A = this chain, B = another copy of it.
Amino acid sequence: MTRAWRSVVALSGGVGGARLMHGLSRVLDPDAITMIVNTGDDFEHWGLSVSPDLDTVMYTLADLAHEERGWGLADETFHAFERMAAYGEDAWFQLGDRDLATHLTRTRALRAGEPLHAVTARLCRALSVPCRVLPMCDGPCRTMIETREHGALPFQTWFVRHRTQPTARGVRFDGSPPPAPGVLEAIEAAELVVVGPSNPYVSIDPILSLAGVREALARRPVVAVSPIIRGEAVKGPLAAMITELAGRAPTAGAVAAHYGDLVRAMVVEAGDEGTVTGVPTLGTRTLMRTRADSARLAREVLTFAEALC
């Protein structure tokens, strides 16, 4: 790397964004990075406050995430879950035993009035997460998926319980809390903002929906990594969502078009460059299977971004 970045902000949903964040946290001074994470997927399960994307980011950055599964901890058991199922409690969303400690700690803290960003910072310290992780907001902002079959469904109900089967006809966010303390300040101070390869509709748009975030981003150089590779989403329902919500083929270009003026450059899978118009585009290997992949992609994004800043 030729440049010493002093302040980089990354926006992320779950796995893809978390892996790029992991790469950034390994190639940059950890003090130079602020991760801003989607909490639109947060929900209550078994009476516990669960923040799936925050947890994926925390566990990934702490090198504790289960890599293949894409959620939860690598070294995990499901004994409480098995008994919950035996008790007839909701069994459509699995929480591991060690993972439960995160939700118990968070739930108790929130009930006691500690804001989400504060308990997240505590959990990150305990997990030795090397860089700053902020939830996008402290207050509830809930991603709702509009479906024909079931009306509006909370994201996890649609995503996990219904396995994304009801077609998403629209997405809305219930609640408009202010961004968490530090979010706007981090963006305003950022030399570079990296939008991770996350689902634009349900992982990044919730962050963009918060008051002041779009305006702050508009003043900073923003580069986005495409979550679409050769017409397919690496994970999740994004390809079908682009078709349904944007009325176009699922391409890196469709992602770029969705972000519009917000992004100054795109990083896409090599071969997908042709789908993007209007912004400088880097083609490279964007699939991150290993930590080395994440670090290489993070380096390439930063080097590519040097020209923008």
Contacts and interface: CB of A to CB of B under 8 A. Distances in A.
Interface string A70-96: 000000110111111011110000001
- Which of A82, A97, A105 has most chain B Cβ within 10 Å? A97
Given A88-B126, A100-B100, A111 B47 contact: yes
A86 B75 CA distance: 15
Contacts of A81: 101
Contact of A89 (B80, B84, B88, B104): B104
Contact of A97 (B48, B77, B88, B111): B77
A1 to B, nearest CB: 34
- Which of A47, A77, A123 has most chain B Cβ within 10 Å? A47
Interface in A23-58: 46-48
A105 B80 contact: no
A66 B83 CA distance: 16
Contacts of A98: 79-80, 82-83
Chain A at the B interface: SS class: helix
A107 interface: yes
B77 A89 contact: no
Interface residues of A, number: 29
B80 A101 contact: yes
B97 A84 contact: no
A284 interface: no
A102 interface: yes
Given A87-B123, A123-B87, A126-B88, A80 B97 contact: yes
Contacts of A87: 101-102, 105, 122-123, 126
Contacts of A108: 46-47, 89
Contacts of A126: 86-88
Nearest to A48: B104
A96 B83 CA distance: 12
A232 to B, nearest CB: 36
B104 A47 contact: yes
Nearest to A109: B47
A46 B104 contact: yes
A77 B123 CA distance: 22
B107 A83 contact: no
Given A77-B77, A100-B100, 12 more contacts: A46-B105, A47-B108, A77-B79, A79-B96, A79-B98, A80-B98, A81-B101, A83-B100, A84-B101, A87-B101, A87-B126, A89-B105
Pick the 5 closest A-B CB pairs, nearest first: A83-B101, A47-B108, A79-B97, A97-B97, A80-B100
Interface of A: 46-48, 76-77, 79-84, 86-89, 96-98, 100-102, 104-105, 107-108, 111, 122-123, 126
5 contacts: A79-B96, A80-B104, A81-B101, A82-B101, A84-B104
